[in-house]
Amino acid sequence: MFDLAKLGTRMQGLRHDRGMTLAELASVTEVSVSMLSSVERGQKAPTVVVLARIADGLGIGLADLINDVEPRRVIVRRAAEQDAVDEPGGWRRTIVSPVVPGVNLEWVRTTLPGGCDAGEFPAYAPGSHEFVLVEKGALRLSLDGQVTDLLAGDSVYFAADMTHAYANPGSEPCVYSVVALIMRPRGPQRG
Amino acid sequence: MFDLAKLGTRMQGLRHDRGMTLAELASVTEVSVSMLSSVERGQKAPTVVVLARIADGLGIGLADLINDVEPRRVIVRRAAEQDAVDEPGGWRRTIVSPVVPGVNLEWVRTTLPGGCDAGEFPAYAPGSHEFVLVEKGALRLSLDGQVTDLLAGDSVYFAADMTHAYANPGSEPCVYSVVALIMRPRGPQRG
DNA sequence: CGCTGTCATTCGCTATAGTGGAATCGAGTC
DNA sequence: GACTCGATTCCACTATAGCGAATGACAGCG
């Protein structure tokens, strides 16, 4: 069940952080003072439209307003800037998936020696997906420059239309599998 | 202004991806069919409470439903939070792939004790594909009754619109991964 | 050709979100 | 004390979210 009280508390905190009164927020959001007060007290459940106006008035995204209300079972990292170095070494990759006509799925199992960098891969066409499972050791995954460290058992999904690089930051070998659903680029496209 | 039509379209897409009807989603979410239909068509603005129930019924976070501007790009699942299911018979399966809206890919890693039979799975809809990689031990794969024995390192592809059964004929444990691309015809589906 | 089952939409009704206003209740301040 | 300011709570009222049931729409089947 959705925790209205928690949402209200969070809303009030954000409003106070900005030094706003209910009346001020009301004039910005076009939501009545009484409604704002009710929502902050968890006494009424706003519609998404009203909540979106409130979030906008607070200068944040609607999802941000909700994110902390719901316990997050996953970690989200957004694409940032591109910043990666590549240097191929003595690593080994195994193509697991047989080539099947009409199926654009690739399954590659890779073993990276300690300290080895598998290099950077270009962004695929939008709509491409990639899954990674670390079986052994540690893997450093860079997505458009955003670094994520993974240990054995960890798995990741990411939209593959961003540059992605794999490296083994540890000293012992790292074994990981990559399953990729690759979309063919439509029309002229680079990469 | 909040785009209700977009939210509705997204909701409907997610529901279709899961092969659910309005009635099925209604029974899971405790939201009436008519309300679901209205929201999908952008004709009504649900309250956060209702929207939270819908998101839950779709198996995603509320923020994910709302965050249409920026669909989730990166999802990390730590080893500690992997869903491990212990099936009767002493075998264990781990759902590797995070749930990604719009992507009907399933990645399951299974450990079968010696002599264990994981049982038979029904045929999926035509157009479904399945890949298997044996990491350790031996695996006996039965496809529409035809038996294939696999050893560590072996991999196989098969069109998943046939019945398929997994068993460990040896005495030592068998570890294997299955990547499945499932097409949704209709009706409830089981992994 | 109806009959039957399934899914989606529309319809009538009730519950409640949401408005505007006014009264009330603090805690300061002069 | 009187006055201000912000928040809360009442009120009457309207708009609409949300429900259950009826209605379409559309397939397969005799």
Give pLDDT, residue A191.
Answer: 27
Whether the pLDDT of residue B188 is over 70: the answer is no
Over residues A72-84, the pLDDT tens digits come to 322 222 222 111 2
Q: What percent of chain A stands above pLDDT 70? A: 73
Give pLDDT, residue B45.
Answer: 92
Topology of domain A4-67, per CATH? 434 Repressor (Amino-terminal Domain) (1.10.260)
**Bridge partners of residue B146, in order along the sequence:** B143
Radius of gyration of chain B (CA): 19
More confident residue, B183 or B188: B183
Tens of each residue's pLDDT in chain A, 191 residues: 688 888 888 888 888 877 788 988 898 889 999 999 999 999 899 999 999 999 888 877 788 788 654 433 222 222 221 112 233 445 555 555 444 444 467 777 788 888 888 778 887 766 678 888 888 889 998 887 777 888 888 888 887 778 888 889 888 888 888 888 776 543 322 22
What are φ and ψ of residue B150, in 5° steps? -125, 145
Quote the CA–CA distance of A51 and B13 in Å, as a whole number: 23
More confident residue, B173 or A154: B173
Is the minimum distance from the CB of A44 to strand C below 7 Å?
Answer: yes
Mean pLDDT of chain A: 73
Whether the pLDDT of residue B37 is over 90: the answer is yes
Quote the CA–CA distance of A40 and B91 in Å, as a whole number: 49
Quote the CA–CA distance of A7 and A4 in Å, as a whole number: 5
Quote the CA–CA distance of A118 and A131 in Å, as a whole number: 17
Topology of domain B4-66, per CATH? 434 Repressor (Amino-terminal Domain) (1.10.260)
More confident residue, B165 or B73: B165
With CB atoms and an 8 Å threshold, state whether B52 touches A70: yes
| C16 C1' closest Cα residue | A44
Beta sheet of B138-143, edge-to-edge order: B117-121, B164-167, B138-143, B146-151
Over residues B74-109, the pLDDT tens digits come to 555 555 545 555 555 566 666 665 555 555 677 888
**Chain B residues in contact with A62 (beta carbon < 8 A):** 2, 66-67
Quote the CA–CA distance of A14 and A2 in Å, as a whole number: 19
Give pLDDT, residue B74.
Answer: 55
- Could you list the protein residues whose CB lies below 7 A from any atom in strand D? A 12, 15, 21-23, 33-34, 37-38, 40-41, 43, 45, 47, 49; B 30-35, 38-39, 43-47, 49-50
What is B79-181's CATH number, 3.90.190.20, 2.60.120.10, 3.40.50.740, 1.10.274.50?
2.60.120.10
**Full DSSP string of A28-91:** HHT--HHHHHHHHTT-S--BHHHHHHHHHHTTS-HHHHHHTTSPPSSB--------------S-
Is the minimum distance from the CB of A47 to strand C below 7 Å?
Answer: yes
Q: Which of A51, A105, A154 sits opposite B48 (nearest CB)?
A: A51
> Per-domain residue ranges for chain B?
4-66, 79-181
Token pair belonging to B114: 């010696």
| Cβ proximity of B133 and B177 under 8 Å | yes
Give pLDDT, residue A74.
Answer: 26
Whether the pLDDT of residue B19 is over 80: the answer is no
Residue carrying the six token digits 């899954």: A131
More confident residue, B84 or B159: B159
Topology of domain A92-181, per CATH? Jelly Rolls (2.60.120)
B/e letters for B118-143, b = 16+ CB within 10 Å, e = fewer, are beebeebeeebbbbbbbbebbbbbbb
Q: Name the residue in chain B with its Cα closest to that of A133.
A: B96
Whether the pLDDT of residue B182 is over 80: the answer is no
Over residues A137-169, the pLDDT tens digits come to 899 988 877 778 888 888 888 877 788 888 898
